[in-house]
Chain A
Amino acid sequence: MHELSVAQLSLGLREKQFSSVELTRSYLDRIRALDGHYNSFVTVDENGALAAAAAADTRLAAGETGPLLGIPLAHKDIFCSRGVRTSCGSKMLDNFVPPYDATVATRLRDAGTVMLGKTNMDEFAMGSSSESSFYGPVRNPWHSDCVPGGSSGGSAAAVAARLAPLATGTDTGGSIRQPAAFCGITGLKPTYGRVSRLGMVAFASSLDQGGPMARSAEDCALLLNAMAGFDPLDSTSSELPVEDYSVGLQQPLAGLRIGLPREYFGAGLDAATGERIHAALALLEQLGAILVDISLPHTGLSIPTYYIIAPAEASTNLSRFDGVRYGYRCQQPRDLHDLYTRSRQEGFGDEVKRRILVGTYALSAGYYDAYYRKAQQVRRLIQEDFLKAFEQVDMIAGPTTPGPAFTLGAKGSDPLAMYLEDVYTLAVNLAGLPGMSVPAGLVDGMPVGLQLIGQHFREARLLNVGHQLQQASDWHRQVPPVGARSAGEGVWSSPGLSPAERAPTEWAPTERAPAERAPTERAPTGGAP
């Protein structure tokens, strides 16, 4: 059942092969049995999920036929969910139970989806490895010594490990695409403004965008259909009408012009990863696409530009966490100043504090023009590179990441090493374009992803190309070993083990407790979301 596509699951529900309650229970059992290996969930809402599944079964029995009706999914723990703790991976929000739903959560509930729980992530989405969570690191289902990428690493790991057929993610500088690549799944960051940001805990408001994560482009299309659309409560939401993203999936690729930016295939790209990317591109060529050499000359500047704009906006957004209205408050504050400064010292992790400080500096009197305004100007140059390229090509393709997943702790000592991980994804957010990562095979047993970058609001074409590639290949059907490998241990646990044998001893039915966090043991982590 866990290998079925969403369309197949939906058919099974409509034909009464199984009920949504049975389907939901099977996923909850799987999470309970296996998530001790991955730590992909922060909160599992068993009662809420079973109630939602029962409601979906009632709607199904009444003859309703929505494509997501009765389908379980997981939400990144950045989307506010009324009555269910929304931590954003931070001690600051460890006690935060939102009084309202994110628009994305509302839309998906109305579509009849069943929320299994909330997935782990880098604190406030600031990272590329999902190691900076207050609830401990997420582990890659393909190898437990490796990171799943970040910041939507819990969502990516949960989908890859078949703990949920669908998950939501958010992407500020690569946070959907990079973990999708590292975990061997498909993930799409829509055009800025396509998916509502209301109730999505804000990191960098001119870059943040929610999107779908699933095993295939076809499943991502179904999820995006329900997520996308104008929201009057989000002042930057686009009023353009939403297409049906499933309709155009079968369109042939003949004559599609795909640009290959030479800056994405330079010295920084791991050679074996480059081979996988070229093999995927050769397949697209066989399907009728025309590959065109292009240049995006300002690519290298996307890192410094991003690391001014994102921290500047973060420092503003995160000023709301003051220990007064909700979230963490320090014990026995001496005065109001002590309440603010100590609540923020104790509630935020190291990378979050660093970014707030960098952003505060970049926005402070005397530095605004040299940093923030300058970065906004270079941001336009970066976008103009893409717009110029799109005069010659319909789409741009390249690697999602410079290489496969790195090991836990490998980039911990220096935030700058983590920042370089996102060199191929940051510019897409700066330009507000849609970008997608699709599996492109394995390098030493670890997945890598092909990134497809589209013109503004051309998500349907990206999903079409992803789907055609997945009809002609089986990279997206490769399954990580159950339980995940670990160095020196070979295969951790075999599929033959009973759920009870696989069950982690510390399993808690609802909320995961914070990780042990002795300050001296915590490696500082960084990176783009």
Chain B
Amino acid sequence: MTIQQDEIEKIAELARIRIAPEEAAELTSRIANILTLVDQLQAIDTAGVEPMANPLDAVQRLRADTVTEANQRDVFQAIAPAVENGLYLVPKVIE
């Protein structure tokens, strides 16, 4: 399965990573090489094999639905690039 440059551009948009136009061709060829490597798996018969998401086949532990954390908003926002009145600031979204 080879990948084309327009697909890489689409994936980059999904991943929210800007790709400079001059990087796109080389990036496409490197990712195509990685995909060629992983394509070996297509030849393996995995019929009936249960996919493994956790190496111990563990499931999420549940806890009681009670508040355990104190509010530390100011501490967490102290390291944000821009905040105002407890809100994170980003460029205007709606014109």
Contacts and interface: CB of A to CB of B under 8 A. Distances in A.
A371 B51 CA distance: 12
B17 A381 contact: no
B91 A301 contact: no
A99 B53 contact: no
A431 B16 contact: no
Contact of A235 (B19, B56, B61, B79): B61
Given A97-B79, A238-B56, A335-B92, A381 B46 contact: yes
B67 interface: no
A432 B38 CA distance: 21
Nearest to B46: A377
Nearest to B61: A235
Nearest to A99: B75
A432 B55 CA distance: 5
A344 B51 contact: no
B18 A345 contact: yes
A250 B63 CA distance: 40
Nearest to A457: B56
Nearest to B51: A376
A407 to B, nearest CB: 22
Contacts of A99: 72, 75-76, 78-79
Contacts of A415: 30, 33-34
B57 to A, nearest CB: 9
A44 interface: no
Interface stretch (A16-24, A321-329, A489-497, A501-509): A321-329
Contact of A304 (B16, B30, B41, B53): B41
A206 B38 contact: no
A456 interface: yes
Contact of A377 (B37, B51, B88): B51
Contacts of B91: 333-336, 338-339
Interface stretch (A105-113, A282-290, A352-360): A352-360
A375 interface: yes
B34 to A, nearest CB: 5
B44 A336 contact: no
Q: Of B3, B11, B19, B52, which is in contact with the most chain A CB atoms at under 10 Å from its CB?
A: B52
Given A192-B56, A307-B38, A336 B16 contact: no
Contact of B17 (A301, A353, A383): A353
A304 B43 CA distance: 12
Interface string A210-246: 0000000000000000000000100110100000000
Given A96-B79, A325-B88, A345 B56 contact: no
Contacts of A375: 38, 41
A354 B27 contact: yes
A370 interface: yes
Given A99-B75, A193-B56, A206-B54, A360 B41 contact: no
B9 to A, nearest CB: 10
A460 to B, nearest CB: 18
B38 A371 contact: yes
A436 interface: no
25 contacts: A96-B79, A192-B56, A193-B56, A206-B54, A303-B37, A304-B37, A304-B38, A307-B38, A324-B81, A324-B88, A325-B76, A333-B91, A340-B16, A344-B15, A354-B31, A357-B11, A357-B15, A361-B35, A370-B42, A371-B38, A376-B53, A378-B46, A381-B49, A415-B33, A431-B55
Interface of B: 3, 7-8, 11-20, 27, 30-31, 33-35, 37-42, 44, 46, 49-56, 58, 60-61, 63, 72, 75-76, 78-82, 88, 90-93
Interface of A: 95-97, 99, 191-193, 206, 232, 235-236, 238, 301, 303-305, 307-308, 315, 319, 322-326, 329, 333-342, 344-345, 348, 353-354, 356-358, 360-362, 364, 370-371, 373-381, 383, 414-416, 419, 429-433, 456, 524
Q: Which 10 A-B pairs have the closest CB atoms?
A: A432-B55, A376-B51, A377-B46, A341-B18, A345-B18, A329-B81, A377-B49, A380-B52, A304-B38, A340-B16
Given A335-B93, A356-B17, A377-B50, 8 more contacts: A191-B56, A192-B55, A193-B56, A236-B58, A308-B41, A353-B27, A377-B51, A381-B49
